[in-house]
Amino acid sequence: MNRSLRRALPALLSAVLAAGLTACSQGGGPAAAGPACDTAPYDQAITAYSAGGVLAKGPNGETSPDHTSITLTEDEVARVRGMAATAAIVMHFSGDSWSNAQVAGITSELDRLGIRVVAKTDAQADPAKQFSDVETALAARPTVMLSIPSLDATALAPAFRKAADAGVKLVFMENPASGFTPGGDYVSVVATDNYGAGVIDAHQMAKALCGNGSVGVIRHAAQAPTNVLRAQGFTDTLAKDYPGISVVEDKGLLGPDWKGEGSSSVNAWLTKHPDLGGVWCWFDAPCEGAIDAARSTGRPLAVTTVDLGDNVAIDMAQNAYVKGIAAAQPHQQGVVEARLAAYGLLGKHAPAFVALPALPVDRANLLDSWQAVYETPAPADLQTALESG
């Protein structure tokens, strides 16, 4: 598999669908991949993404280097450890699997580098609180700050400007604050291949529905690049490769009750659309609500989402609603961010944008994917669910 295969996939998929390989089992519910459905084209499309590298470009059109190239020599580590540097970690929200793993990756690498964390904040999905959190963190006089301004990159920019003007080395997660320039205002942005994650989820949804059906899209209402790119990757791929699948609902959520808002949205959709076949979410928590809605109504529903959270992983293991996950690599992303903060302290040239590929997760590779994403074995309840599902 290589990039030439990826370029050939649209024609391949069109030919397969035209040849009538969209036969699916109905079972009284939405179209779903069954024994009569040839899933090979969808599997090939997913494999082609994995073989071809990241699709995302940086905020200024930058091409990402391989994230494994972000390294520090023993001498550089020793120099950083001698600086008595300090760090602030300013999160948009926390408590979910992605945020927990992101912070764990950052703190473990900062500890290796001898950088002491002096502030760690949780904005609880409130842009105004995150603005205040940045100012609170600055009062601790950190040398570096690692933060994700995805709630409102424009409204938060003045707060981050105070940090930049104070000489704090900024490393952004996912997207920079609006109007900021790499190499001057900040060191680098480290992101998931967000567009690619949406692409994976679209192929996974098409496989679950065997190329035909109606779906709903749950996105973040804030128009930060991370949120926009995930949704674009999903909807662009459906429109280009799967004309038999239509997006009949599209809802933006603002949180912080992601699960509750997802549940209420999907409950309404299931009433309005008796043939609704699937739901996609830009991260896992709203899709937990989608699962609750489907379960409470007894309706079949195919769910795909970004991020390998505990609950969606268990649902997948149980052979229930979740049919595919495009997993970010938050722990490794945090490690890369901490190393780039060290680049800033050393004055070492840093790439303006680094993206980590999304990992396609299905039930067959669920345990291996968990190990790869979190760098720890899958929890016992997930292993039990897989064995009994």
Confidence at residue 34, expressed as pLDDT on a 0 to 100 scale: 61
Confidence at residue 389, expressed as pLDDT on a 0 to 100 scale: 72
**Cα distance between the two ends of the chain:** 32
Confidence at residue 383, expressed as pLDDT on a 0 to 100 scale: 95
Confidence at residue 86, expressed as pLDDT on a 0 to 100 scale: 98
- Backbone φ, ψ for residue 148 (5° rounding): -120, 105
- How far is it, in rounded angstroms, from Cα 85 to Cα 110? 10
CATH architecture of 3-58+194-329+359-388: 3-Layer(aba) Sandwich (3.40)
Look up the CATH number of domain 67-193+330-356.
3.40.50.2300
Confidence at residue 35, expressed as pLDDT on a 0 to 100 scale: 65
- How far is it, in rounded angstroms, from Cα 90 to Cα 137? 8
pLDDT tens string, the chain, 389 residues long: the values are 444 444 444 444 443 333 333 334 333 334 456 668 999 999 999 999 989 889 989 999 999 999 999 999 999 999 999 999 999 999 998 888 889 999 999 999 999 999 999 999 999 989 999 999 999 999 999 999 999 997 789 999 999 999 999 999 999 999 999 999 999 999 999 999 999 999 999 999 999 999 999 999 999 998 778 889 999 999 999 999 999 999 999 999 988 899 999 999 999 999 999 999 999 999 999 999 999 999 999 999 999 999 999 999 999 999 999 999 999 999 999 999 999 999 999 999 999 999 999 999 999 999 999 999 999 999 999 999 999 87
- How far is it, in rounded angstroms, from Cα 86 to Cα 234? 39
Check: CB of residue 207 under 8 Å from CB of residue 42: yes
Q: Mention every residue, 6+ apart, whose C-beta is less than 8 A from residue 369.
A: 308, 325, 327, 359, 361
Check: CB of residue 141 under 8 Å from CB of residue 167: no
Q: Do domains 3-58+194-329+359-388 and 67-193+330-356 have the same CATH topology?
A: yes
Per-residue tokens: 282: 């830009």
Strand order in the sheet with 322-327: 245-253, 213-220, 276-281, 302-306, 322-327, 359-361
Confidence at residue 25, expressed as pLDDT on a 0 to 100 scale: 35
Confidence at residue 53, expressed as pLDDT on a 0 to 100 scale: 83
Cα maximum dimension of the chain? 67
- How far is it, in rounded angstroms, from Cα 238 to Cα 199? 8
- How far is it, in rounded angstroms, from Cα 341 to Cα 339? 5
Antiparallel, parallel or unpaired: β 359-361 and 322-327: antiparallel
Per-residue tokens: 368: 């291996």
pTM score, whole prediction: 0.85
Q: Mention every residue, 6+ apart, whose C-beta is less than 8 A from residue 111.
A: none
Domain ranges of the chain: 3-58+194-329+359-388, 67-193+330-356
